[in-house]
């Protein structure tokens, strides 16, 4: 349930309602807007009728049910958009954020050269896998801590904050020592033990949509993070499984707009895994931004044909640079349709 306080509600009246929500057996989550305060009563096993009765408490405008099963993630609970800070980078603000880097960290030379190249082209965050979820146990599984050290070195040299995937609860504390943002991979979207663990960290989380997950399931996965105490969550659409076989996955553009409608959390798109084809990455990046995406995450490799994972979908430095230039051009050449938002430039100075 949500208790909407009136514009004229006093601090005492707000405090009183918060207390009453606790007494009724729920956890109060308070959102203070410019003019109004919203108190969401969340949890199971409380006494609902006591919340409904708060309609009569001083300073209360109304008490309404939260329509969706995801409570804290819903825009009903928090109408203002969430802005997530990752080091000097802001996700969910006016600028589109570009995260770029290899699928996997392979060598010092590979990750450092990529970090410098993507920064030069205008990316504002570096991606790179240290622990890789591979379909086959015989494929490269990631360099682990060695990769984390190299990512930290790349950040030191470029100033780009780093995002990397966490696959298990046991690795979380170690990974937190090295990186700025934790990625929950598509295959782990419903690893509830992992979500609960990441909820207790102080790092922002990039939550990928599972390949077969509905938007509701995706938002409920985010609810695990928020209800567990971590409000800094960015959703990532990375394509879903459909009957189509020409593309690796089907990038669900509507889900980007829908997630931003249903939730206050920022949403980014991953056109690399979403299509599996370099030629489709620039147009799908533009499409995602036109759909409201707050950013994109793209795989870039110094030599895709030699990549240890996801080479066929990785952009070369040149392709990435050309894409970055095209992102700031009008959507349709002479038609003059321009992107509503600018692509953010690397925050750190050259
Ligand atoms: C990745 O980012 O390299 C990755 C494995 O992504 P996903 O979990 O979306 O497949
Ligand atoms: Mn990959």
How do residues 155-206 score in pLDDT, each as one tens digit? 999 999 999 999 999 999 999 999 999 999 999 999 999 999 999 999 999 9
| Closest of 153, 112, 95 to residue 317, by C-alpha | 112
If pLDDT is split at 50, 70 and 90, which confidence band does 349 have? very low
- Maximum pairwise Cα distance, the chain: 68
Ligand 2 centroid distance, CA of 244 (Å):
19
Residue 216 has pLDDT above 50, yes or no: yes
Cα–Cα dist 343/328, whole Å: 7
Note the pLDDT of residue 345: 63
pLDDT attached to residue 328: 83
Which ligand places an atom closest to the C-alpha of 238? 1
Residue 236: which H helix or E strand, with range? strand 233-237
Instruction: Say which residue, 33 or 337, is predicted with more confidence.
Output: 33
Q: CB under 8 Å to 119, separation ≥6 — which residues?
A: 126, 158, 159, 160, 346, 348
Q: Please count the CA atoms within 13 angstroms of the CA of 209 that sit on its side-chain side.
A: 31
pLDDT score of 1: 95
Percentage of residues of the chain with pLDDT beyond 90? 91
- Which strands make up the sheet holding 60-64, listed edge to edge? 27-32, 37-42, 2-5, 60-64
CA-nearest residue, atom 4 of ligand 1 = 185
Rounded distance between C-alpha atoms, residue 251 and residue 209, angstroms: 11
Q: Residue 334: which pLDDT band, with cuts at 50, 70 and 90? A: low
pLDDT tens for 231-274 read: 999 999 999 999 999 999 999 999 999 999 999 999 999 999 99
Which residue's C-alpha comes closest to atom 10 of ligand 1? 186
pTM of the shown model = 0.95
Per-residue confidence (pLDDT) for residue 21, from 0 to 100: 97
Cα–ligand 1 centroid distance for 25 (angstroms): 40
Kindly list the protein residues whose Cβ atom lies closer than 6 A to any atom of ligand 1.
103, 129, 133, 185-187, 208, 238, 270, 273
Mean pLDDT of 98-121: 98
Residue 205: what pLDDT?
99
Residue 239 Cα: closest atom of ligand 1: 9
Q: Does residue 348 have a pLDDT over 70?
A: no
Tell me what the mean pLDDT of segment 87-95 comes to.
Answer: 96
Number of the ligand closest to the Cα of 311? 2
Per the CB < 8 A criterion, the answer to whether 119 and 89 are in contact is no
For residue 24, pLDDT beyond 80: yes
Of residues 304 and 337, more confidence is placed in 304
Supply angle C-alpha 276, 343, 251, rounded to 5: 25
Give the up-direction half-sphere exposure of residue 285: CA atoms within 13 A in the CB hemisphere. Answer: 31
CA 52 – CA 56 distance, rounded (Å):
9
Average of per-residue pLDDT values in the chain: 95
Choose one of 101, 114, 129, 274 to mutate for the ligand 1 pocket test, by most ligand atoms within 8 angstroms of C-beta. 129
Could you tell me the CA-to-CA distances from 136 to 68, 272, 308 in Å, in that order? 37, 20, 13
Q: Which ligand is nearest to the CA of 135?
A: 1
Cα(272) to centroid(ligand 1), Å? 9
- The residue-averaged pLDDT of 309-318 equals 98
pLDDT of residue 350: 46
Compute the distance between CA of residue 337 and CA of residue 324 in angstroms, rounded to an integer: 17
Based on the number of CB atoms within 10 Å of its own CB, is 245 exposed (0-12), middle (13-18) or buried (19 or more)? exposed
| Rounded distance between C-alpha atoms, residue 146 and residue 214, angstroms | 35
Contact assessment for residue 345 and residue 300, using Cβ atoms and an 8 Å cutoff:
no
Under 8 Å between Cβ of 128 and 104: yes
Phi, psi values for residue 46, rounded to 5°: -80, 175
Q: How far is the CA of 206 from the centre of ligand 1 (A)?
A: 11
Q: Which among 133, 235, 298 is the best mutation to test ligand 1's pocket, defined by most ligand atoms within 8 Å of the CB? A: 133
Of ligand 1's atoms, which has the minimum distance to the CA of residue 297? 2
**Cβ-contact 251, 268 below 8 angstroms:** no
């Amino acid at each position: 349930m949500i208790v909407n306080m009136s514009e004229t509600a006093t601090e005492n009246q707000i405090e009183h309602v918060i207390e009453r929500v606790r007494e009724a057996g729920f956890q109060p989550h308070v959102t203070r807007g410019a003019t109004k305060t919203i108190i969401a009563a969340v949890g199971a096993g409380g006494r609902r009728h006591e919340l409904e009765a708060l309609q009569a408490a001083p300073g209360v405008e109304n008490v309404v049910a939260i329509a969706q099963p995801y409570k804290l993630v819903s825009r009903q609970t928090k109408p203002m958009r969430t802005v997530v800070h990752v080091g000097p980078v802001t996700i969910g603000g006016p600028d589109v954020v570009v995260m770029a880097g290899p699928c996997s960290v392979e060598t010092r030379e590979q990750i450092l050269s990529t970090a410098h190249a993507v920064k030069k082209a205008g990316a504002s965050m570096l991606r790179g896998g240290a622990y890789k979820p591979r379909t086959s146990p015989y494929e490269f599984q990631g360099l682990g801590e060695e990769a984390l050290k190299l990512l930290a070195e790349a950040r030191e040299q470029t100033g780009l904050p780093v995002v990397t995937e966490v696959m298990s609860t046991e690795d979380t504390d170690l990974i937190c020592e090295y990186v700025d943002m934790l990625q929950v991979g598509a295959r782990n979207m419903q690893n509830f033990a992992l979500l609960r663990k990441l909820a207790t960290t102080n790092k922002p989380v990039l939550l990928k949509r599972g390949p077969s997950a509905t938007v509701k399931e995706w938002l409920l996965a985010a609810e695990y993070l928020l209800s567990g105490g971590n409000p800094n969550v960015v959703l990532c659409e990375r394509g879903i499984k459909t009957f189509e076989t020409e593309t690796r996955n089907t990038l669900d553009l509507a889900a980007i707009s829908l997630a931003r409608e249903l939730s206050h959390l920022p949403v980014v798109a991953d056109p690399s895994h979403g299509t599996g084809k370099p030629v489709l990455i620039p147009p799908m990046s533009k499409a995602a931004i036109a759909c409201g995406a707050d950013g994109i995450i793209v795989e870039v490799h110094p030599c895709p044909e030699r990549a240890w994972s996801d080479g066929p979908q990785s952009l070369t430095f040149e392709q990435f640079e050309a894409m970055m230039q095209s992102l700031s051009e009008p959507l349709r050449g002479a038609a003059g349709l321009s992107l509503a938002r600018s692509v953010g430039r690397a925050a750190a100075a050259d």
